[in-house]
């Protein structure tokens, strides 16, 4: 048993997840595309930013509470949509949604999740969650997903724009990533060293892509699912598709994958509710800048027209604070969530959220602020 009180940072969860999660699924989270330059820059550029310490300020009664697209949150953090989180830990997306609900932050389910929309709805009740949508060539399937999201009490749809084709993810190719793992000698030997993970998976029926299996004509097994999925990401995705989805959905819509001010201005023209500055965790275009470096120009371009969030490299409450200082209304955490999930399941996710919130509260106070909504660029030292 792990004493979670001794886990003090996300890096502790990462080290534990590396020992507990099968290699192909751990590497799926803990890697970027090609040279991994952008993946590494996401964290590095946060570390290069310096905070302005203040003293003799009354810091009693601190609060990290705020809103994201009008929904009350315990802190400006949402769990990001990440594919196959249910392979980090059995029933992983359900556990993540339960932890998020208990803590008071949004959970976002990926189209490429192991647990289905209906699985999450059964555990969240009337508590809303968000759903991330990929635009597939099969628009009938996309329309069905939107209706299933509505029936599942999803309160916001998050449309990912930067995966018209997969990035150059070398580790996934070398590991032969598949869901569930193929019974090769290498995989079987690796699984034998993870008995805790194997026992959890033996106890659940959820081993494939729950939002797809049983909902697509001709997809009856994992082989046909893999072929269908590989062919479905749509290279013709355009702003017209965003308009179509917005009209079909009719509710709150968030655009994820914006890295350029011109794209941000085009996003404003669609009338969506928020955008996410994101390079897909460094898993798509390697060599582009970090999300935190792209953030200020996009905030300036968008102005007061819509909320701007960001993801990529967020590992601590200080990172959340720095993103807020640069104009982000909120952040999303993907790897931090997956490390905690893979290491310790639902309890791990709750502890990760506690760590981030405590770090945010303490760092905010030492910068002389008592409310997250009072944080602005003045808490940062000028860059050297």
Q: Is residue 155 part of a domain?
A: yes
Pick from 195, 182, 201, 187: which is nearest to 92 by CA?
201
**343 SS3 class:** helix
Q: Is residue 69 part of a domain?
A: no
Across 209-239, b (16+ Cβ under 10 Å) vs e yields bbbbbeebeebeebeebeebbeebebeebee
Q: CB-based burial of residue 139 (10 Å sphere; 0-12 exposed, 13-18 middle, 19+ buried)?
A: middle
Q: Is residue 316 part of a domain?
A: yes
**What pLDDT is recorded for position 229?**
76
Interstrand relation of 71-73 and 66-68 (parallel, antiparallel or unpaired): antiparallel
Q: Is residue 51 part of a domain?
A: no
Please identify which residue in the block is written with the tokens 């590991």. 175
For residue 262, the domain's CATH number is 3.20.20.70
Q: Is residue 135 part of a domain?
A: yes
Whether residue 357 contacts residue 317, with contact meaning beta carbons closer than 8 Å, is answered with yes
Q: By residue range, what is the domain housing residue 114?
A: 4-44+75-362
Domain count, the chain: 1
Residue 288 to residue 82: CA distance in whole angstroms: 20
Q: Is residue 57 part of a domain?
A: no
pTM over 0.75: yes
Q: Is residue 191 part of a domain?
A: yes
Residue 59 to residue 51: CA distance in whole angstroms: 17
**163 SS3 class:** coil
**What pLDDT is recorded for position 261?**
98
Active site residues: 280
> Can you give the pLDDT of all 384 residues of the chain as single tens digits?
899 999 999 999 999 999 999 999 999 999 999 999 999 999 999 999 999 999 999 999 999 999 999 999 999 999 999 999 999 999 999 999 999 999 999 999 999 999 999 999 999 987 889 999 999 999 999 999 999 999 999 999 999 999 988 889 999 888 888 878 888 899 999 999 999 999 999 999 999 899 998 888 777 665 667 678 778 888 999 999 999 999 999 999 999 999 999 999 999 999 999 999 999 999 999 999 999 999 999 999 998 899 999 999 999 999 999 999 999 999 999 999 999 999 999 999 999 999 999 999 999 999 999 999 999 999 999 987
Q: Is residue 14 part of a domain?
A: yes
């Amino acid at each position: 048993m792990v004493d979670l009180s001794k886990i003090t940072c996300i890096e502790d969860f990462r080290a534990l997840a590396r020992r507990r999660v099968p290699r192909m699924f751990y590497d799926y989270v803990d890697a970027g595309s090609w040279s991994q330059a952008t993946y590494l820059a996401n964290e590095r550029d946060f570390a290069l930013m310096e905070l302005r310490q203040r003293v003799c300020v009354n810091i009693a009664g601190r609060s990290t509470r705020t809103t994201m697209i009008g929904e009350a949150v315990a802190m400006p953090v949402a769990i990001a949509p990440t594919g196959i989180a249910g392979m980090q830990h059995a029933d992983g997306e359900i556990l993540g949604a339960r932890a998020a609900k208990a803590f008071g932050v949004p959970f976002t389910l990926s189209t490429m999740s192991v647990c289905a929309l209906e699985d999450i709805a059964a555990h969240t009740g009337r508590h809303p969650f968000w759903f991330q949508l990929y635009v597939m060539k099969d628009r009938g399937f996309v329309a069905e997903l939107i209706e299933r999201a509505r029936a599942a009490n999803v309160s916001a749809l998050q449309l990912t724009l930067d995966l018209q084709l997969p990035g150059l993810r070398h580790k996934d190719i070398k590991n032969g990533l598949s869901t569930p793992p193929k019974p090769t000698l290498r995989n079987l030997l690796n699984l034998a060293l993870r008995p805790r993970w194997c026992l959890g998976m033996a106890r659940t029926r959820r081993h494939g892509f729950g939002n797809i299996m049983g909902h697509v004509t001709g997809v009856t097994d994992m082989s046909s699912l893999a072929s269908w999925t590989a062919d479905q990401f749509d290279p013709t995705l355009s702003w017209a598709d965003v308009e179509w989805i917005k009209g079909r959905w009719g509710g709150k819509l968030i655009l994820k994958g914006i890295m350029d001010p011109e794209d941000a201005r085009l996003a404003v023209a669609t009338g969506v509710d928020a955008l996410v500055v994101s390079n897909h965790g460094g898993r798509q275009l390697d060599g582009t800048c970090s999300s935190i470096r792209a953030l200020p120009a996009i905030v300036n371009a968008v102005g007061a027209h819509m909320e701007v969030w960001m993801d990529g490299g967020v590992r601590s409450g200080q990172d959340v604070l720095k993103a807020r200082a640069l104009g982000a209304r909120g952040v999303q955490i993907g790897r931090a969530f997956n490390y905690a999930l893979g290491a310790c399941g639902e309890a791990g996710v709750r502890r990760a959220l506690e760590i981030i919130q405590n770090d945010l509260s303490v760092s905010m106070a030492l910068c002389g602020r008592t409310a997250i909504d009072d944080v602005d660029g003045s808490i940062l030292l000028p860059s050297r």
